[in-house]
């Protein structure tokens, strides 16, 4: 619901030798997250496309078969906004980004805003989402990713279309 949403992610690692097939991780992922885990031949299989890196499998495994990655990853959502006039939920922009990339994207966004902000906006303030609506997402993306070196694992959503209000 903010211009930028930054959420921590973990890439869970699975040790099949420690797993006792209790199903606690699968239940937790199904109940609290996105159902990225399933049991196949008494072992757990993770769907990497579905996994959002929430760490519920790690938190709920009683034997420690699941462990967090040593690397820190983040998910960046963009251009949510509250208010009565045009509220909208943010959309995923990048998944599996590193800390340096997130910092650089935010700094680049400041440059983008300085270049495109409407000086006639009330109080000299304008949501970044409104600026992107005017200039187009691809122009924002060009500015935001300038000199950013994302990890190979990073996934960029493009283009982003706002679907409107959904609760």
Taking only the tens place, the pLDDT of each residue in 85-141 is: 667 777 889 999 999 999 999 999 999 999 998 888 776 677 777 888 889 889 999
DSSP 66-96: EE--SS-EEEEEE--B-SSSS-B--EEEEEE
pLDDT score at 73: 94
Query: Domain ranges in the chain?
Result: 12-67, 72-156
pLDDT score at 125: 74
- What would you measure as the largest C-alpha separation in the chain, in angstroms? 64
Pick the closest to residue 137 from 129, 147, 146 (CA basis).
Answer: 129
Indicate whether 52 pLDDT > 70: yes
Pick the closest to residue 160 from 95, 116, 73 (CA basis).
Answer: 95
Q: How large a percentage of the chain has pLDDT more than 90?
A: 63
> Quick one: which H or E segment has residue 150?
none
How far out from the chain centre does Cα 98 lie? 11
pLDDT score at 1: 60
Q: State the Cα angle at 10 between 5 and 63, rounded to 5°.
A: 140
Indicate whether 167 pLDDT > 60: no
Structural fold of domain 12-67: Alpha-Beta Plaits (3.30.70)
pLDDT score at 90: 76
pLDDT score at 166: 43
Indicate whether 83 pLDDT > 70: no
């Amino acid at each position: 619901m903010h211009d930028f949403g930054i959420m921590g992610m973990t890439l869970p690692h699975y040790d099949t030798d420690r797993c006792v097939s209790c199903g606690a991780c699968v239940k937790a992922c199904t109940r609290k997250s996105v159902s990225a885990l399933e049991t196949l031949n008494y072992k757990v299989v993770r769907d990497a496309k579905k996994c959002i890196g929430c760490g519920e499998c790690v938190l709920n495994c009683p034997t420690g078969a699941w462990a967090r990655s040593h690397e820190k990853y983040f998910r960046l959502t963009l251009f949510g906004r509250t208010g009565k006039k045009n509220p909208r939920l943010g959309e995923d922009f990048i998944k599996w980004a590193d800390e340096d990339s997130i910092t650089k994207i935010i700094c680049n966004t400041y440059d983008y805003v300085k270049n495109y902000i409407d000086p006639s906006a009330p109080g000299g303030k304008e949501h970044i989402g409104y600026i992107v609506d005017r200039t187009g997402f691809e122009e924002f993306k060009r500015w935001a990713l300038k000199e950013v070196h994302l990890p190979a694992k990073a996934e960029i959503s493009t283009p982003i279309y706002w679907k409107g209000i959904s609760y």
